Amino acid sequence: MAQIYILDIKKGVNEDICRDFFPERYEKSKKFIKNEDKLRSYGVAVLLKTLLGIDESDMEYGEYGKPYSSKLGKFFSISHSGDYCVLAVSHNNIGVDIEKINPTRIGVAKRVFTTSEMNCLKDNEISNFFKIWTMKECLSKAVGKGINLDFKEVDTLPLLEGKSQTIEDKTFYGNCKAFKNYIVSICTESVSERMEITETNI
């Protein structure tokens, strides 16, 4: 089972944790103009330190920047949007994405969706857009390529239909849930991976 921890930045995040245990992240956050951006950056640090017990010195990065820690013995993935930061933890390779539902973002679909994904938007356009978008994002994280994965070449509909998708000789499975006015999706290499969402106030 994939554990999904969601932290509401409006309810307070501990800036000191980011400053003390993730100094590089903290310094970068100082450059953000909007306070919400700073809070989301702090929130990620809080989740990693409080729930996983790791700090900046424990962080390692794959070829395309995917974060991991050999110290843990399990996989994790992070994401944030709007008022929330999300941490996904699993014994299987995992990617997570959360997106606030905002209809103004739908225009990006023409640039990054496949033909079948575009056709899917004809039914329940807004909901389906964010399901597809979050699945592309979390798949790119699970693959380990992030923005280097060509979204236009990857069809996520099989993942949203409970089927598998094979990329670079690895087979992935997806899961998607609504959370308030957000969509949360995960992508893993385990067919039986379920999502258990826990709101946490640290």
CA gap 47, 118 in Å, rounded: 35
pLDDT band at 28 (very low <50, low <70, confident <90, very high): very high
Q: What is the mean pLDDT of the segment spanning 38-60? A: 96
Q: What is the mean pLDDT of the segment spanning 7-26? A: 95
Which range is least confidently modeled, 9-23, 33-47, 70-84, 183-197? 183-197
**CB contact at 8 A, 93 and 193:** no
Domain residues for the domain of 185 are: 2-200
Residue 12 has pLDDT above 90, yes or no: no
Arithmetic mean of pLDDT over the chain: 93
Q: What is the mean pLDDT of the segment spanning 129-155? A: 91
CATH number at residue 137: 3.90.470.20
Residue 176: what pLDDT?
Answer: 94
pLDDT band at 47 (very low <50, low <70, confident <90, very high): very high
Residue 26: what pLDDT?
Answer: 97
| pTM of the complete model beyond 0.85 | yes
Q: What is the percent of the chain with per-residue pLDDT over 70, rounded to a whole number? A: 100
Residue 63 has pLDDT above 90, yes or no: no
pLDDT digits (tens, 9 = 90+) for 30-41: 999 999 999 999
Residue 60 has pLDDT above 90, yes or no: yes
Residue 124: what pLDDT?
Answer: 85
Which tokens go with 173? 């499975």
Q: What is the DSSP string of 58-103?
A: G-EE-TT--EE-TTTSSEEEEEEETTEEEEEEESS-EEEEEEE--G
Which range is least confidently modeled, 27-36, 38-47, 163-172? 163-172
Phi–psi pair at 36, nearest 5 degrees: -60, -35
Smallest CA-to-CA distance from 67 within 141, 5, 133, 175 is with: 141
> What number of H helices and E strands is found in the chain?
7, 10
Residue 153 has pLDDT above 90, yes or no: no
Residue 164: what pLDDT?
Answer: 94
Question: How many domains does the chain fold into?
Answer: 1
Residue 10 has pLDDT above 80, yes or no: yes
